[in-house]
Homo-oligomer: A and B are copies of this chain.
């Protein structure tokens, strides 16, 4: 029986210690899209008192993983790039909006826009996943 996007991501989420650790929250989800949110906490800042680049990256990467796997086949991230457009500071609420750009049998492309609570773009992420033969469920 084919699993729904929600069922697939529930399984992923249950074992995704790092996304949980960072306090991520899934806002929206479907085959090929996903929105995930987190709040910048004191443990997430770097030497410039702004969110470490790894925070927006991790948020984007999780959003892409959920969006890509929601199609039903196990997808692995192979290539990703992120542009840091604007600083995110302590207390900011960041939302990553992931959408699919193209989808083949083997490879899928996604882009993620990370915005803060004032709808300003904080980061732009682009990623490629590889679809394995393995199905969810």
Chain A interface (Cβ < 8 Å from any Cβ of B): 11-19, 21-22, 42-49, 51-55, 57-58, 61-62, 65, 74, 76-86, 101-102, 104, 106-107, 109, 111, 121, 124, 126, 128, 130
Contact = CB atoms under 8 A, between A and B. Distances in A.
Contacts of A16: 45-47, 52
A51 B15 CA distance: 11
A54 B82 CA distance: 12
A82 B60 CA distance: 13
A45 B58 contact: no
Of the listed residues A53, A57, A74, A77, the one surrounded by the most CB atoms of chain B closer than 10 A to its CB is A53
A127 B7 CA distance: 35
A86 B78 CA distance: 9
